Amino acid sequence: MQFTRREFTQMAAAAALPKGKADACILLWLGGGAAQIDTFDPKRRGDGKKIPGSYYNAINTAIRGVQLTEHLAKTAPLLDRCVLLRSITHSIVSEHAAAANLVHTGRMPSGTLQYPSIGSVVSHQLGPKTEEVPSYVVMGYPNITRDPGFLGAKYGYIYLTQVDIGPNGLVRPPDVDASRQDRRETLLAALREGHQQRHPADPVVQAQADVSRQAFRLAGPRFLNVFDLNRESATLRQAYGSEFGQRCLLARRLVQSGVRFVEVSYNLNFLNGSGWDTHNDGQRNQHLLIQDLDQSFATLLQDLERNRMLDTTLVVIATEFGRPPEFDAGGGRGHQSEAFSILLAGGGLKTGQAIGTTDELSKKVVDRPVTVPDLHATIHRALGIDPHKNLYAGDRPVPITDQGKPVTEAFS
């Protein structure tokens, strides 16, 4: 096989990029804007009123010189399994939805294209490990920020809102026995094939037909048995803790079954009155959220390690933006996107380090800024994906990331 000079140059550039060992990713999504100054980048104490600063005390971790909030006490001794990015930065500060879309897609909105989420890109590039499980699962409500965009429905997600029964659309109603299900599938297949024959050149029709066929494969026992958490020991389930913890346990089981990308959305939105959106009184009981995250995340890391999956599974704790050191009139915090933190763990990365620093109040990045496209490029390289490769929206080439550069320090 012969290559053009341009193709050879592109392949050489891709080979020179750093690369992790991961073949799957678990994204823990803290929707609402988790305060970095109260979690992963603590600074001097404030008073919750007029004196800016952290709301809690800081504790030492497994990484010398790196501290976390006191409410991440279970995570602190495991931080050597992590890469802490403390200098994430972008410019969307006012809108949660716009910032969440940016972090999920790595791009600002376009008037002509709907860009795919990072989960869909991973699904497109890596594909499922087996046809009996999907490549992309979301534990949370459907949202356009997680969509496949121009990649099409084939690279969309299966979603669920309850961990114990699995996706509602795949569970057969109790009054539909196997014989009745077979008759339904035969009828649907005939209608689907007829529609395809009438629209042979329509890629949307073909994609929807592929998704329909996949759904029946996923309704089989291999995938649905993953949702039976009772197969795990009571001790382990108790260690994971809350409803969010059970989602994290299910995420491990999904990856173990062959799923490539799992997003676990933190849905206990009103545990402290406002979830991670800590305006006003939401700040007062923010520690309940942090402690819940701490228990679930620490248990997930140890569980992955015990199952010899941590080196091949990248775990990401992400949010749309952070919080400023100042307190508002109600004792809470506003929005801050110029400097905040995202945590990476496992995935064959060069763990045991914090990358990037902020000023004395975690308000501005002092060194090693990491853009959202850079974050995406780093995640992709951990999974062996070339962040500069072109995807195609029809005939239009679209690079996987918007000129993102992997954080090379995160790789051995």
Give 194-211 as a DSSP string: HHHHHSTT-HHHHHHHHH
Q: Is 85 left (phi over 0), alpha (psi -120 to 50) or beta?
A: beta
Low-confidence ranges of the chain (pLDDT < 70): 1-16, 166, 168-197, 199-222, 268-273
Q: Burial of 1 by CB count in 10 Å (0-12 exposed, 13-18 middle, 19+ buried)?
A: exposed
Non-local (6+) Cβ contacts of 175 within 8 A are none
Q: Which two tokens stand for residue 170?
A: 């795949």
Cα separation of 134 and 378, whole Å? Answer: 24
Residue 164 is which amino acid? D
Cα separation of 202 and 109, whole Å? Answer: 25
Closest among 411, 302, 313, 351 to 81, alpha carbons compared: 351
Non-local (6+) Cβ contacts of 196 within 8 A are 205, 206, 209
Give pTM, 2 decimals. 0.88
How many H-runs (helices) and E-runs (strands) does the chain carry? 10, 15
CA-CA-CA-CA torsion for 229, 231, 234, 238, nearest 10 degrees?
A: -30
Non-local (6+) Cβ contacts of 251 within 8 A are 26, 139, 262, 264, 300
Q: How far is CA 144 from the centre of its chain?
A: 14
The answer to whether the CB of 189 falls within 8 A of the CB of 182 is no
Cα separation of 408 and 412, whole Å? Answer: 8
The answer to whether the CB of 272 falls within 8 A of the CB of 285 is yes
Instruction: State residue 355's pLDDT score.
Output: 98
Q: List, for residues 374-388, the tens digit of each pLDDT value.
A: 999 999 999 999 999
Q: List, for residues 112-139, the tens digit of each pLDDT value.
A: 899 999 999 999 999 988 888 999 999 9
Cα separation of 158 and 391, whole Å? Answer: 22
Q: Which two tokens stand for residue 168?
A: 């509602």
Q: How far is CA 395 from the centre of its chain?
A: 29
How wide is the angle at C-alpha 212 spanned by C-alphas 211 and 218, nearest 5°?
A: 80
* Secondary structure of residue 223 in the 3-state scheme: helix
Domains of the chain: 18-171+226-410 (3.40.720.10), 174-218 (no CATH)
The answer to whether the CB of 350 falls within 8 A of the CB of 84 is no
Q: What end-to-end distance do the CA atoms of the chain give, in Å?
A: 32
CA-CA-CA-CA torsion for 168, 100, 335, 95, nearest 10 degrees?
A: -100
